[in-house]
Amino acid sequence: MPNWSNCTPSAIPFPVVFGAEFVNIEARPVLDYIPPGPPSLSWVNHPPLPNTTVDFCNVTLTHTHPGKNDTLRTQIWLPISPEWNHRMQMAGGGGWSAGFDASTSLVYGALTDGYVASTVDGGIRSENGLSPAAWALTSPGNVNYDALQNFAVQGLIDGALATKSVIKSFYGQGVDYAYWNGCSQGGRQGYMFAQRFPDVFDGIAAAAPAINWNPLFFSSMFPQQVLMELKLEEFPHPCEYETLRQAAIAACDGGDGLIDGLIATPETCAFDPHKLVGSPANCSGESLVISKAAALAMDAVWKGARTSNGSFLWYPHGFETEVTMGIGLLASVCSNNGTCVPSRSTLFTDWIRYFIKKDPNYNLNNMTRQDWVSAFKAGKREYGSIIGTDDPDLGEFRAAGGKLLTYHGLADGLIPYGGTRDYYERVSVLDPSLRDFYRYFEAPGAAHCSGGSGGHPEGVWAALVKWVEHGVAPETLVVKNMANKERLLCPYPKKAVFAGNPSNYTAQDFVCK
């Protein structure tokens, strides 16, 4: 085991990674570390973060790609206490952040378990993970393709190889197992490794993956697009949307045999919001009725992105999705007099504004449906091979012995779960034996990465390690909902069917069918 004398720049040589030139290394001991304040992200795929201190060597590498005038960073935390478990865990980012600050809780959590933990910035030193405005364009009309390539792919593989090199230098031996952990952007990054660099990681936990990069933005912008096309003078109040959401849940709950406020079989839910137009909305202190505009907007949430003639473009969001909370699909700003206007998040809109239209001042509110569809197609043509991560050929990952484990919440308000389901099905067409190395679970009521009334599976990581290191594949996962009740998750396409006492049950009262 190394001592603190190993934790100096002179003791750790620059990694050798083809195409990259490392230009700086920082190394310093960190004692009794615990993240300041509440972590920005939960420890996805794991139980809640522990409240414990750790000692580690903090190594930060800086490298460039000669001729590109770029600067990328990789941060590696090497544990001293607890002792290293001979494994590495690379942490994914979120939104428009490749990692670093967006990954603090994931890196810290890995360290408490004895893993070497690492993360990358993808060449982007932006503190705003909701917008790429600081780096997307070199000038109006000109996309910074090198920056996008670094963010999407190159920074990640460089960082993974650099991490392995530093581990060997610091500890005098390589890793026994290498793992990836992430959600959302971090999920996309994990799939990118499985598809393009299949021999880097033995196990990949990738929740709610943003693999369908271009279409997910359009699907998430679609409800607001529908509203803008109406040219309204007054927009629906958020409580109209919430009333319709609750009505849908009430109408479609119980598909799994249990009435618990969750929709476990959304594909069988045929709730029509238009039937409630004119009905009272559940608004505190106000007397409002559900408007036609609110029904149209929620119909857009639940039917997915469509052309003007109703043709399918991309998958919908779930009926349980809270559309007005946080970065909501139908978030609004309401004045004291009760009038509301849509609030459009840059997390979604900047994809069109910067990368497709290449114009920071482009006004999305004036887009016709044909404008919108044309932009959808343009994004697919131009960026599918750069940041699109939906190649279903995982043959090399399977041959390398890798294992890929994913869950996606059916109430995810940012990334439609249908895109992940579609990807899994396309992989299954190419490789009917995919269950040997790839398993996908859907979680009723689970929101994006964390939150939601249905709860998230906390045992994903333990299941992945057991699969990788002991050959035991996960047949089920367990979640606890907001009422602290357990339920079972089954590997897609199986569903958990309830067969117990509704007043007192555990996960054992469900069976997979």
CA neighbor of 391 nearest in space, from 192, 206, 160: 192
Q: What is the pLDDT of residues 288-307, one digit of tens each?
A: 999 999 999 999 999 999 99
CA torsion, points 162, 166, 169, 175, in degrees to nearest 10? Answer: -90
Query: DSSP per residue over 13-74, as a string?
Result: PPP--TT-EEEEEEEEEEEEE--SSS-SS--TTSSSPP---EEEEEEEEEEE-TTS---EEE
For residue 308, pLDDT over 60 is answered with yes
Domains of the chain by residue range: 1-175, 216-382
Write down the pLDDT at residue 41.
59
Residues 6+ apart with CB under 8 A from 80: 1, 2, 4, 29, 55, 56, 57
Q: Quickly count: other Cβ atoms within 10 Å of residue 327's Cβ.
A: 17
For residue 37, pLDDT over 90 is answered with no
**Element of type H or E holding 341:** strand 340-342
Q: From CA 229, how far away is CA 232, in angstroms rounded?
A: 8
Instruction: Tell me if the pTM is above 0.75.
Output: yes
CA 421 to each of CA 115, 416, 442: distance values in angstroms, whole numbers, following the listed order: 31, 9, 9
For residue 1, pLDDT over 60 is answered with no
Answer for the pair 384, 421: CB distance below 8 angstroms, yes or no.
Answer: no
Residue 273 in tokens = 């919001």
For residue 2, pLDDT over 60 is answered with no
Answer for the pair 256, 497: CB distance below 8 angstroms, yes or no.
Answer: yes
For residue 79, pLDDT over 70 is answered with yes
Write down the pLDDT at residue 24.
98
Residue 420 in tokens = 């992940």
Write down the pLDDT at residue 38.
62
Match 């109703």 to its residue by tokens: 310
What does the pLDDT average to over 407-432?
98
Write down the pLDDT at residue 39.
56
439, with CB counted inside 10 A (0-12, 13-18, 19+), is buried
Between residues 285 and 139, the one the model is more confident about: 139
Query: Which residue numbers are catalytic?
Result: 184, 412, 448
Instruction: Give the range among 81-95, 275-289, 297-311, 312-326 with minimum mean pLDDT.
Output: 275-289
What does the pLDDT average to over 347-357?
96
Q: What is the mean pLDDT of the chain?
A: 95
Residue 40's pLDDT band, with cuts at 50, 70 and 90, is: low
- Which own/partner pairs from 473-477 qualify as long-range (CB within 8 Å, at least 24 positions apart)? 473/435, 473/436, 473/439, 474/405, 474/439, 475/512, 476/507, 476/512, 477/407, 477/441
CA neighbor of 277 nearest in space, from 297, 256, 260, 291: 291
Instruction: Give the range among 40-54, 91-105, 404-418 with minimum mean pLDDT.
Output: 40-54
Q: From CA 167, how far away is CA 22, in angstroms rounded?
A: 16
Q: From CA 92, how far away is CA 107, in angstroms rounded?
A: 9
For residue 493, pLDDT over 70 is answered with yes
Residue 443's pLDDT band, with cuts at 50, 70 and 90, is: very high
For residue 324, pLDDT over 60 is answered with yes
Provide the terminal-to-terminal Cα distance of the chain, rounded to the nearest Å: 49
What does the pLDDT average to over 314-330?
95
Percent of the chain whose predicted confidence (pLDDT) is above 90: 90
What does the pLDDT average to over 358-383?
97
Between residues 481 and 373, the one the model is more confident about: 373
Strand 203-207 and strand 332-334: pairing? unpaired
**Helix%, strand%, coil% for the chain, nearest 5:** 35, 20, 45
366, with CB counted inside 10 A (0-12, 13-18, 19+), is exposed
